[in-house]
Structure 1
Amino acid sequence: MSEVAVKASYVFLAPLAPAGRGGTTERVLAALREAIISFELAPGEDIDKLAICERLGVSRFPVSEALARLQAEGLVEILPQRGTRVSRIRLADVRQSMFIRRALEAQAVRSLALDHDDKLLPALERNLRYQQAAVEAADRRGFHLLDLEFHLILLDALGFARVKSAVEAARANLDRVRRLLATPRRNTHTLAEHQAILAALRAGDAEAAVQAMEAHLDAVITELVVLAAQNPALFEDL
């Protein structure tokens, strides 16, 4: 690929505004992570570090540091003597991450159905009103952020910091998958699944809350298997 073509391929990266000392690596990391999660940088695509440096207006060091951290997150592969590329999605990793989420979040809603403070239900109801508006506006990115917030509200209400950290770590590996699945149809189903979780919490029905959460998370894996069969180039282990 020519230098002009390489640069053109990174037009989705906005040059970083000048800032004070520190924080450059974090900003590069955020920009590259979003590009990978949004599929601007596609699974299996080679990454040209020099072109990224030129596009963002930064030195090689923060780009190299950001890529090393993305490798630790499983989003890129750094291949000795061969360069760096975006990792393909591994179904085995997704299944493991979802297993962790399913176990912890199901128990979280079981506990919250039996005991929660007065702020939980109004916070969830407000979030679901915004989710409904996002569905009606076909705002896929907005819905994704509200989906994340719904689960964070539950984890914050639970009040177990280590459980929240474990769920967030597992969810990081699922971000690309959730973007892939965030169709208008899937978002409509997700909204209904969230409403079922809220209804069980409102009724104080622990078993119904567990079943609703498990059904919600299981639906992701079910749809992902179908999607993977249709898009094998995105996946590593088909």
Structure 2
Amino acid sequence: MGLLNDEASAAQDPYGALQKLQGAERGSLTDAVEAALREAIVTLALEPGMMIDKLAVCDRMGVSRFPVSSALARLAGAGLVEVLPQRGTRVMPIVIHDIRQHLFIRSALEVETVRGVAMHCSEGTLNALAANLEKQREAVACDLRHEFHLLDLGFHEILLDAIDLPRVKEIVAVSRSALDRARQLLASPERHVHTLEEHERIFAAIEDRDPEAAGHAMHSHLDEVVAELRRFASERPDLFEE
């Protein structure tokens, strides 16, 4: 289940996703190291709970300790790593309580979003959702995981754009970003099939102009993420904290 099907190779070289940097100024080096480490953490190349070997990062990226230390300090501020006294820096485990909070925010805003869309949906929005769902079906059929992830994001963005409340979209985007690692853990073909089915139910309710059914479908969709994360956490407790 999930993205951790390459664990053996990742364990052999967890820094393999990092690329050597050349010809950048000190400030931009820090930015580049931060971006590379962030990507490695979000995509789980650097697993939750893993201790980060600064010298290995320096060697892999061809940089000194300064930009690595600066980048890790920024990532600590973002809650992606933590400094353990006398031990070093580790990738933050995924905190179930934080996930529940961000999904609560998304549920509160996106349930009301689909209720509003169902009441005042334009043909253009319906057509955009239908086209997105057709591409989701193709991605599921061909097991195109990255493409499906982008289409999943696109489906929710179409709904948020339809209500024309940019501040709401911005808040949802922040919470969605905080869920990136959790989404990667659940990025299995089985989860994608379920996600597509849940999106289909949301679309059907909007198409029927049924705000209550649309809200219920969205609420169930987001609740299922919490349920699956709890099931996964029971299998891999080393990746999570309560």
- With structure 2 as the length reference, what TM-score do the two structures score? 0.86
**Amino acid across the alignment from 1:53:** C
Report whether the alignment pairs 1:124 with 2:129: yes
For residue 133 of structure 1, the aligned residue among 132, 138, 145 is 138
Which consecutive residues of structure 1, in runs of 5 or more, have no partner in the other structure? 1-5
| Distance (whole Å) between structure 1 residues aligned to residue 63 and residue 199 of structure 2 | 42
For residue 105 of structure 1, the aligned residue among 92, 107, 110 is 110
Equivalent position of 1:39 in the other structure: 44
Counterparts of 1:161-176 in structure 2 under 5 Å?
161-176=166-181
**Amino acid across the alignment from 2:186:** L
Greater shift in the superposed pair: 70-79 or 161-170: 70-79
Between the two proteins, what is the percent identity of the paired residues?
A: 53
Higher relative contact order (CA 8 A, sep 6+): 2
Counterparts of 1:14-25 in structure 2 under 5 Å?
14-16=19-21, 18=23, 23-25=28-30
Equivalent position of 2:215 in the other structure: 210
**Amino acid across the alignment from 1:168:** A
Equivalent position of 1:181 in the other structure: 186
**Amino acid across the alignment from 1:111:** G
Report whether the alignment pairs 1:194 with 2:199: yes
CA 1:202–1:25: 2 relative to 1, 3 Å: farther
**Amino acid across the alignment from 1:184:** P
| Distance (whole Å) between structure 2 residues aligned to residue 121 and residue 21 of structure 1 | 49
Deviation, 1:21, is 8.8
| Distance (whole Å) between structure 2 residues aligned to residue 135 and residue 53 of structure 1 | 39
Instruction: Give RMSD over aligned pairs.
Output: 2.3
Deviation, 1:64, is 3.2
Greater shift in the superposed pair: 31-40 or 54-63: 54-63
Equivalent position of 1:77 in the other structure: 82
Greater shift in the superposed pair: 224-233 or 7-16: 7-16
CA 1:116–1:60: 2 relative to 1, 3 Å: farther
**Does the aligned pair in 1 maintain the 2:26–2:67 contact within 8 Å?**
no
Greater shift in the superposed pair: 68-77 or 24-33: 24-33
- CA-to-partner distance for each residue in 1:92-146, whole Å, 9 max, x for gaps? 1111111111101101111111124443222222221221111111122221222
- With structure 1 as the length reference, what TM-score do the two structures score? 0.87
| Distance (whole Å) between structure 2 residues aligned to residue 161 and residue 69 of structure 1 | 27
Deviation, 1:224, is 1.2
Greater shift in the superposed pair: 144-153 or 88-97: 144-153
CA 1:124–1:57: 2 relative to 1, 3 Å: farther
| Distance (whole Å) between structure 2 residues aligned to residue 141 and residue 10 of structure 1 | 21
Deviation, 1:81, is 4.4
Equivalent position of 1:13 in the other structure: 18
Partner-residue secondary structure (3-state), 1:138: coil
CA 1:59–1:190: 2 relative to 1, 3 Å: same
Report whether the alignment pairs 1:145 with 2:150: yes
Equivalent position of 1:229 in the other structure: 234
**Does the aligned pair in 1 maintain the 2:14–2:45 contact within 8 Å?**
no
CA 1:74–1:136: 2 relative to 1, 3 Å: same
